[in-house]
Structure formats: C-alpha cells, structure tokens
Amino acid sequence: MAEMQVLTEPPSTGKASPTPKAQAQAQAKDQSQARAQTEAPAPAAQQQKRGPSIHQIYALPAPIRTFPLPVFYPNNPVSLFHVAYAWLGQVFRPPPVEPAVVHQGVWSETTISVHIKDEKSMRALWEQGFYGKGNLSRSEPNWLKREQVQRGLQEAHVSEIFTQQRREERAQAKWERARLEQEAILQTKLEEQRLAESRRLAEKQAAVPISSPRPLAPVGPLELLALPNSAVVVSRLEPAPTPTPFLAPVGPLQILALPNSAADILKSTEVNKENGTLTLSSSSHHGSSTDDSEEPRTPITNETPEIFRDDRSVNSSSDGMGNKTLKRRKSVRFSPTVESATYKASDPPSPNRSPPVLFSQPSQANGNGKSISQTLPPLPLASVPVSDPIINKEHLQLMPEEAFFLSFGLGVLEITDPASGRVLSRQDLFSLFRQYSYFPPRNGPDEPDLEPDDGFLVHYAVYHHFRSLGWVPRAGIKFGVDWLLYARGPVFDHAEFGLIVIPSYSDAWWKNQGKQGPRKPWSWLHSVVRVLSHVTKSLVLIYVDVPPPHKFEEALKDGITEAMKLYKVREVMVKRWSSNRNR
C-alpha cells in the first residue's frame, strides 16, 4: 500500500487559518487521490466477458418468425398512420416465407420418440419453445458443453455441474453431522464406562472386611486390664464373615445354583487371603453361579471401534479350577468395495457414501494425545488428452405429441423412416403415433382397429390446446402427472400447474354402449394433490370429450384438422382443502 505523507507548515502571521470545514475537504481530497493511486485498474484478461442474457437467447417463443402489425390506439390518431405504414411495407416488401428452416428428425421404435441429431436443430428447437430433452442431460441438451467445462476447455455455467456440486456439499455436511453425533455417542459411552468403573471400585472397597484390632502388648496397668480374659471374648471380637449377595434368578440354572441353607452360604464363602476380598466358589453347586452366566463387559476405548463388530459370536473356555469364562470373538463383515483397512471409532456407519476415509494408527500418538491419521491416496483417474476432439454423442428426443405439433401445427419438422429412408407424411405420422400409443403397438394386420380414445389423440388434443394459448407443456412424470405447464419455460421459472388428462365419454352413443371413464379412488387424488402442494404447484384435471367412432371416421376423411375439432377440452382446478386455512 502506498504511504500518504502530509506536510504541514506553521501558520504565518497575517494569514487567516483555514476553517475546520476546509480542512476536512482538503483531507478528503488527499485521501481520494491516494486511493486512486493505490487501486490500479484490473487487467482486461481478468475481466470475464458476459454472454447474452437468457431473455436474448430465448427471445423467440416458437421456431418460426411472425411479423405482427403495431398496436392501434383509438385515442391516439398517430398510431393509425403507424399501422398503415407497417402494413404497406409488408405488402410491397413481403417478409420471407415461414418456416424458413425445416428441421430433420428420425423415428425410433425403441424409445417411441423422434430423434434430432443435428446440433443446430437441437439448439433451435430448445431455445425456440423448449421442445424435447437431451438423452444425456436432464432437460437442456448440453452434454457437449458439460464435457468441455469438465476438461477445462471453456468456462461456462452448466446446471448439471452446479447441481452435482450442491449434492456433494449436502453429502459432506451430512457426513460431518453424522461424525459429530458418533463422537458425542462415543464420549457418552466413555463417560458411562468411567462412572461404572468408579462404582465397581467403590463396591469392591466396601466389600473388603475390616480386620478386628489385635490387642497390643501391654505397657502399663491399663493395657493389662484391657486384655481379654478368655477365647470366648476373643471370638466375640471377630466379625462374622459377610455372605456374598446373590442376584435375583432369571432362569432354571440360576435357581438351582442358589444355596439351600445358611450353612451352604457359609461353606461357599471363602476369604481370599491374598487381597482380602470375598469370592464365591462354584465347586459345591450343580450349576454355574449367576455371575458366571453373565457376559463379560468389553471396555470401550478409542482404539477399539464398535463398527463392523458382531457381538453374537462368543467362545466359552474353562480353566483348571472348573470356572468357566466367556471370551468374545471378533467377527468382521467385509463389503465388496474396500476403502480402508481400519476405521476410526468416531466414523459413522456409512463409509461407502463418504468422502475420502481417514485411516488411523492407534499405536502412534502425537504430542496432543490424538491418533495420527492420514488421507488415503485418491484413485488414479483416466487422463483424457485435451487435444482429442470431443464428439457430440447426444441427441434431442421429441415426444410423439411434440413431434406432431412441430410437423402438423407449425410445419417446421420432417420425420424420416429409418428402415426405408423416406419422409413420412402427416397422415402416416398420425397413424404411426396412434399405433404406438397402445401396448403392445397395434401395427400388425391382425391387430384390433384404432379407437378415437387412444392415448395419443387424447394427449395431443391437450398439448395442442395449451400450446395454442401460449403455455409451455412438458412431461410431468416426475411429479406423478401427465403434463406440467410453464408460463414461459423451465429456464425462467418453475411450473405452476400439473395436468392429469382424463377421457370423458359424454356423448349419448358412449352411454348407450355402456362406456365409462377410468375410476380412481379418493386416496389416489389425495396423494397427487399432496405431492403437488409440496412443490407449490396446483392440480388441474383436464377432461377431454371423446367423439364416437363413426363421427371420428367421417371427419378423418376430410382431414386431420376436422377430426381434431371434435375433441373438446374442459379444465377443472383442484385445490387442497385445509380446515385451518379455509374457514
């Protein structure tokens, strides 16, 4: 940082001293100049160029260009001249015929969709109406861009990469939280073990009998008078041996091990002269004592983790005195993927989804008393040469409703049959999509006839209806509905509505035939409403009135347009009623 030096001169006689306000202004000016000198402008290389905004990228709502006339305002006569000028300009210099670009697609029977493989067509159909989805992406076909960012060839915003980063951060936070919880549990167990050990030592000290005071050698008349006169008096001074308390029996063996009388208790009680404690011998009983039947408690230490331990495997061994002792045998369960030889006792029991595991050496410790741990070396990654060109392996998948709308409604798509290589006409596409809306497809000569209530006709009527109103419908299987409605597109905002399409047989012909719509219970409707309410979406039931077969076949002879006019769409909004909010 640059140093600012201020030179002050002594005020000369005959000159007025500056006012405090002038001094503050001068000081502020000097500070601004010094700040301007210290803050050098950033180089042009560090200033990253910002691309066009999303409003410029997705400016066209459809893959065709329109040339509307200006708005006419009756209270403004000048707007009439503006409208007349624009109309005369289009009459004498007409705009190019639309659609100016016709995209090419290929029909796929395997995925029952239309594949767009040209990169320009993929970008155009996505940016001009959000049609289709990338087969290697979540929605937008940006696999090539994502690969370039991962290889460091360019710096750009990719939604899948940011989503993956957020998921990794959440997983790391969950792992850290689980590790802290495991450490807290371990500290609690250690504290409980310490308290249990202190209680055991206290009980052991309390069980040690207090030896009776032996009479000392007399050194005077008082001591001579205090000596006992006979052996009876000496025996009275000796305390009686304390019998060992027996625990409450919990089984037949423990009941048989109980003593039958006070004499058996005295016989089974022996005083250990080495340490002065009372022990209970099991040689005089038919069964083992209650203490022998209990499992030995394994101390919990930092060096002995309890993870991956099976406490059910126990070995019993006997010593030469006939006392049986239980020895715990450690059983380890191995997983298919081995990340580390050992784990810390504080590690949560989910190492497969964890960041790199730290393996510790319990035998070595640093000055702070903590075990020395080091990170496992990462696995070697396959190095991809940057010089190799990246081939785009992604294509755009169009649903039958989207493909037919682009071909029939807008005329911007031509679909080719992969077997013959010929371009399918609209009538052929209409029949093809109807055949594959059934399962199995009705494309054979012996298959039943196509019905006017097949899945493609009912769903295309709904798709065409909302596309004509300016909405952006997309598949809604992720939320358990047929379609999701976006106001502008998935780039700008979330979907506001979820649509469920229900065919309606309101015509008298269907009633005479006894045809009824699908019957679903209230539990199904409640579950769908609950799912959509959690993601702040509203449920809309779309009833499509299906025409009778004879009317549909007659209208189909005049064209697809006349046949689709017979379908009527009705919308019913469903909201979740809550007694607390709607009273």
pLDDT at 114: 97
Q: Is residue 324 included in any domain, yes or no?
A: no
Query: Could you tell me which residues are beta bridge partners of residue 415?
Result: 105
Say how far apart CA 369 and CA 364 lie, in whole Å.
Answer: 9
Whole-angstrom distance, CA of residue 459 vs CA of residue 503:
9
Question: CA-to-CA distance for 355 and 168, rounded, in angstroms?
Answer: 9
Residues 515 and 460 in one domain: yes
Q: Could you give the strand order of the β-sheet that contains 133-134, starting from the edge strand earlier in sequence? A: 133-134, 396-398, 113-116, 103-108, 413-416
CB count within 10 Å of CB 483 equals: 23
Cβ neighbours for 410, distance < 8 A, ≥ 6 positions apart: 62, 63, 64, 99
**565 and 480, same domain (yes or no):** yes
Identify whether residues 111 and 70 lie together within a single domain: no
B/e letters for 112-127, b = 16+ CB within 10 Å, e = fewer, are ebbbbeeeebbbbbbb
Helical ranges in 208-282 per DSSP H: 221-226, 231-237, 252-257, 262-268
Dihedral (CA of 404, 470, 131, 542) sign? negative
**Rounded distance, CA 280 to CA 264, Å?**
11
Residue 199 lies in a domain: no
My answer on whether 478 and 566 are in the same domain is yes
DSSP character string of 136-157: TSSSS--HHHHHHHHTTS----
**446 within domain boundaries:** no
Strand partners, 358: 375
Contact 318, 324 (CB under 8 A): yes
DSSP per-residue string spanning 307-327: TT--TT-EEEEE-TTS-EEEE
Specify the pLDDT at position 216. Answer: 66
Query: Are β-strands 413-416 and 472-475 bridged in parallel, bridged antiparallel, or unpaired?
Result: unpaired
**Where among 153, 172, 194 does a domain terminate?**
194
Whether residue 150 is found in the same domain as residue 123: no
- Detail the DSSP E strand segments found in 263-380: 269-271, 278-280, 314-318, 324-328, 358-365, 371-375
525 part of a folded domain: yes
| CA 446/CA 339 separation, integer angstroms | 58
Longest alpha-carbon distance in the chain: 150
546 vs 552: CA distance, rounded Å: 9
Of the residues 155, 179, 194, which one is the last residue of a structural domain? 194
> Is the domain of 468 the same as that of 422?
no
Residue 537 is a catalytic residue: yes
Q: Are residues 526 and 577 located together in one domain of the fold? A: yes
Give the domain CATH number at 120.
3.40.1170.20
- The answer to whether residue 553 sits within a structural domain is yes
Q: 82 an active-site residue?
A: no
Catalytic residue among 115, 395, 537, 567: 537
CATH no. for residue 525?
3.40.1350.10
Q: State the sign of the Cα–Cα–Cα–Cα dihedral 34, 36, 42, 43.
A: negative
The reply to whether 167 falls in a domain is yes
Among residues 408, 437, 466, the one where a domain terminates is 437
Q: Which domain holds residue 153?
A: 142-194
Q: How many domains does the chain have?
A: 4
Within a domain: 12: no
> Which residues 6+ apart lie within 8 Å of 58 measured at CB?
127, 128, 488, 489, 491, 492
Residue 213 lies in a domain: no
> What pLDDT is attached to residue 435?
95
Q: Which of 494, 520, 526, 550 is catalytic?
A: 494
pTM, full prediction: 0.60
Tell the burial category of 280 from Cβ atoms under 10 Å away from its Cβ (0-12, 13-18, 19+): buried
Do 576 and 466 lie in a common domain? yes
Residues 70 and 107 in one domain: no
Structure tokens at 541: 């039931």
- 130 and 153 together in one domain: no
Using CA atoms, how far apart are residues 99 and 544, in angstroms rounded to an integer? 31
- Give the whole-angstrom CA distance, residue 382 versus residue 76: 69
List 317's β-bridge partners, or say none.
325
Q: Which residue of the set 131, 343, 463, 486 is catalytic?
A: 486
459 is catalytic: no
| Contact call for residues 315 and 329 (beta carbons, < 8 A) | yes
Residues 474 and 572 in one domain: yes
Judgement on whether residues 482 and 519 belong to the same structural domain of the protein: yes
Q: Which helix (H) or strand (E) holds 541?
A: strand 538-545
Q: What is the pLDDT of residue 264?
A: 72
In a structure prediction context, what are the per-residue pLDDT tens digits for the chain, which is 583 residues long? 343 343 334 334 344 444 444 555 555 556 555 555 544 444 444 455 667 888 999 999 999 988 888 999 989 989 999 999 999 999 999 988 888 899 999 999 999 999 999 999 999 999 999 999 999 998 999 998 888 888 888 877 787 788 888 899 999 999 999 999 999 999 999 999 999 999 999 988 888 665 555 666 777 777 777 777 776 666 666 555 555 555 667 777 777 777 777 667 666 655 444 444 444 444 444 444 444 444 444 444 444 444 344 444 444 444 445 554 445 555 555 555 555 445 555 555 554 544 444 444 444 444 444 444 444 455 444 444 455 788 899 999 999 999 999 999 999 999 999 999 999 999 999 999 999 999 999 988 888 999 999 999 999 999 999 999 999 999 999 999 999 999 999 999 999 999 999 999 999 999 999 998 888 898 999 899 999 999 999 999 999 999 999 999 999 999 999 999 999 999 999 987 777 766 6
Tokens at 359, concatenated: 């393996």
Q: How far does CA 319 lie from the centroid of its chain? A: 56
